[in-house]
Amino acid sequence: MPDVRMAARIGVAAAVLGCMLAVAHAQSKPPVEAFAVLAPDAPEISPDGTRFALIRGINGRPSVAIYKIDAPAEPPQIVTSGDWIISGTMWVKNDVLVVYNRKNIKLGVRDRFREDVLRPLADAVAVTLKDNKEVRLTAYARIVDVDLDDPDTVYATAGNSLYAMNVRTGGRPEFVVKKYVGPEKEQTPKWFLDGHGKVVARIDKIRDPQSYVHPLWHDTLKVFENDSWRALAKFDSTVDQGDGALIRLAPDSKATVSIDRIDIATGAEIKLFQDPIYDVAGALRDEWTGRIIGYVVDEDMPVYRYFDPKREALQKGLEKAFPGLSVHAVSTDLAGDKAIVEAVGSRTPASYYLFDHTTHRSTAIVASYPDLTESELGEVRPYAYMARDGLRIPAYLTIPPARRPLNLSLVVMPHGGPDARDDMTFDFLSQFLANRGYAVLRPEFRGSSGYGRAFTEAGLHQWGLKMQDDISDGVQKVIADGIADPKRVCIFGASYGGYAALAGATLTPDLYACAISLAGVSNLPDLLGYTKKEFGIDITNGSFWTTRIGDAFTDSAQLDASSPALHASQVKAPVLLLHSELDVTVPIQQSELMTAALTTAGKKVQFVRLDGDDHYLSLEPTRYRVLQEVEKFLAASIGG
């Protein structure tokens, strides 16, 4: 850039050009609304390929939009949910779409844990498109299978039983198999049918506190033959099941999650795929038969592979058509002639296309975040580093657009879970921060999923300890590389990430200039007590959270030492707390406890209550409020 004296000599032309550049720079900062929109989700084609449905934001809430494929300009048919939050859809007939809803309600019961006890509710509604008739199905019912021979019937599971239901008239569901809970607290969450109403097999889950990684249950596959059930195979720590196949942790504790097939007739197990580094992230299923036809491995971006040669050929063709993006067919019609394709990248929000196998042509149908352009988004790069004990920690670093990676303000964003992980596909939160001028580090600390069983188990009982050290070590690495200004670092996370943010502010107070917790945990013993009270989980006998956090009795000293609310006096930086009043995953009392502790200690704290939403930022007004508050807080604390 020329200095002032040179600019003066250039004269009026340079002044005009300077004004143009200033305007262009101002336009590169999209409004908060551009990042806060509810992106389109879960597009699905009807069995006959004449319509597709997807969930999208309408008036700030998730709604279902149903489009006619042969009339793309015709306004879609809209299904809304009142005060429920739409969480999923499923085509069950050519003209019937099932819409799944959820909401959390206050019971108004006072106890020592909370003033208003919250309970999660679920609902399922069958919508007949011709007359827009809605039929409410059994509460908590999940569709197990459709009947390809019957225009009215579907099969669903609720509790431990299997029902046949009429999706056009509703009415009392008919028991196909009625099953009672036995003395071992057996559950049957999964049933397998043949697509024509015949029950083939089921998965029974029985409580097994000795199983360490998934401690509540072990699973038994049972097949139905000669009017009786026969146990075929028993396995621990199952992640997901399909029709005659499963995704699970291998017996070797160092192995990654694999995808295996079980022969229903013999019980023989055949390993279909296992990656040496990454877990299998999910099964790819034929949505009309339920059979596993492939798998997805989340490397730096998801990679999709198929066992069927025809589908694999389609996948290879899509990858050539969308180079540099993660792409795959998310839905197909019953004949396999039409598919909806998703393409997403680091700086490319997900876009959806309708692909016709007969013409080999694709048509764009909907894009996420339509008001954002690639030039306004940050570059995302892998940024692995070594923890202080020598463990390799994967991470992702986002650099603000048009900025050199030098002496930047840094926001470190540990993910939630903690059994979860980030990747390099578009993330609206980190890209919003990058657009506002912040570098963003997303560390995959030990305890994260996706990198093998040993890596996940390394985080057991390490809340506030080695898991927190991994995050701190990542910050120190970015500073040592000259990318971040050590005086302008903030830690921001949601759920477990919110806990990590508060732990960072209390356990390493000199490292951070500010901390932001969204729906975060602040008091570990109190959280375990809430889990037991609200959900009936025995925290003394191998519950999921006990294995992750620790035992409320035998590990009480460690839990107290790792609880941010009990060490508020150590905080030096300003703290922003955001929490929804209807959060049943992490109760709002966790933020209330932290606010009270910080206030008593004379610390700088701001607490924002979010009305009407849940744990997942499901509503656009909530997203807008969160981004607005975060932007303002960061600007005042570390600049941009």
- DSSP per position, 446-471: TT-SSS-HHHHHTTTT-TTTHHHHHH
pTM of this structure? 0.90
Closest CA to 208 of 236, 182, 233, 247: 236
pLDDT digits 0-9 by tens, 415-446: 999 999 999 999 999 999 999 999 999 999 99
Domain 374-523+563-637 has CATH 3.40.50.1820: yes
Across the range 13-24, mean pLDDT stands at 37
Query: Between residues 167 and 210, which one has the greater pLDDT?
Result: 167
On the question of pLDDT at 63 being above 50, the answer is yes
Burial 341-364 (b: 16+ CB within 10 A, else e): bbbbbbbbbbbbbbbeeeeeebee
In three-state secondary structure terms, 302 is: strand
Measured between alpha carbons, how far is 239 from 159 in angstroms, rounded to an integer?
20
Measured between alpha carbons, how far is 395 from 410 in angstroms, rounded to an integer?
14
3-state percent breakdown (helix, strand, coil) of the chain, nearest 5? 25, 35, 40
What's the mean pLDDT when you consider all of the chain?
Answer: 86
On the question of pLDDT at 44 being above 90, the answer is yes
H/E segment holding residue 421:
none
Residue 540 has a pLDDT of 43
The least confident of 6-10, 72-76, 370-374, 487-491 is 6-10
pLDDT digits 0-9 by tens, 212-235: 444 455 777 888 888 888 888 776
DSSP letters for 203-238? EEEEE-TT-SSSTTEEEEEEEEETTEEEEEEEEESE
Most confident of 79-93, 145-159, 383-397: 383-397
On the question of pLDDT at 10 being above 80, the answer is no
Residue 108 has a pLDDT of 63
Residue 415 has a pLDDT of 98
Measured between alpha carbons, how far is 373 from 295 in angstroms, rounded to an integer?
31
Instruction: Cite the beta strand spans of 465-506 per DSSP E.
Output: 484-494
Residue 18 has a pLDDT of 40
The alpha-carbon radius of gyration of the chain (Å, integer) is 26
Residue 254 has a pLDDT of 59
On the question of pLDDT at 250 being above 60, the answer is no
Tell me if 454 sits within 8 A of 253, measured CB to CB: yes
Query: Between residues 71 and 602, which one has the greater pLDDT?
Result: 602
Query: Between residues 11 and 227, which one has the greater pLDDT?
Result: 227
Closest CA to 475 of 508, 497, 447: 508
On the question of pLDDT at 127 being above 90, the answer is yes
Closest CA to 555 of 467, 494, 470, 464: 464
The terminus-to-terminus CA distance of the chain in angstroms comes to: 21
Could you tell me the residue ranges of all domains in the chain? 374-523+563-637
Query: Between residues 66 and 119, which one has the greater pLDDT?
Result: 66
Residue 69 has a pLDDT of 93
Query: Between residues 265 and 366, which one has the greater pLDDT?
Result: 366
Q: Write the burial class of residue 398 (CB in 10 Å: 0-12 exposed, 13-18 middle, 19+ buried).
A: buried
On the question of pLDDT at 78 being above 90, the answer is yes
pLDDT digits 0-9 by tens, 591-640: 999 999 999 999 999 999 999 899 999 999 999 999 999 999 999 999 96
Measured between alpha carbons, how far is 315 from 329 in angstroms, rounded to an integer?
8
Measured between alpha carbons, how far is 540 from 260 in angstroms, rounded to an integer?
33
- Give residue 136's identity as a one-letter amino acid code: R
pLDDT digits 0-9 by tens, 307-316: 989 899 999 9
Nearby residues of 275 by Cβ (< 8 Å), 6 or more positions away: 256, 297
Residue 291 has a pLDDT of 80
Query: Between residues 186 and 360, which one has the greater pLDDT?
Result: 360
On the question of pLDDT at 367 being above 80, the answer is yes
Across the range 371-389, mean pLDDT stands at 97
Measured between alpha carbons, how far is 148 from 194 in angstroms, rounded to an integer?
10
Reported as a pLDDT band with limits 50, 70 and 90, residue 352 is very high
Residue 401 has a pLDDT of 97
Give the angle 591-597-598 at the CA atoms, nearest 5°.
90
Residue 635 has a pLDDT of 98
Residue 149 has a pLDDT of 86
pLDDT digits 0-9 by tens, 508-553: 999 999 999 999 999 999 988 876 555 444 444 446 778 889 888 8
* DSSP label at residue 173: P
Burial 256-274 (b: 16+ CB within 10 A, else e): bbbbbbbebeeeeeeebeb
On the question of pLDDT at 107 being above 60, the answer is yes
Closest CA to 588 of 557, 615, 548, 564: 615
Residue 212 has a pLDDT of 46
Token match 């397998």: residue? 192
Measured between alpha carbons, how far is 304 from 296 in angstroms, rounded to an integer?
5
Rounded to whole angstroms, what are the CA distances from 561 to 75, 528, 539? 57, 15, 19
Task: Give me the sign of the Cα torsion angle 47, 51, 52, 57.
Answer: negative
Q: CA 284 from chain center: how many Å?
A: 17
On the question of pLDDT at 16 being above 60, the answer is no
pLDDT digits 0-9 by tens, 504-514: 999 999 999 99
Query: Between residues 42 and 271, which one has the greater pLDDT?
Result: 42
Residue 273 has a pLDDT of 86
Nearby residues of 476 by Cβ (< 8 Å), 6 or more positions away: none
pLDDT digits 0-9 by tens, 146-203: 887 899 999 988 777 888 889 998 877 787 876 554 444 567 777 888 888 888 888 8
Across the range 73-81, mean pLDDT stands at 93
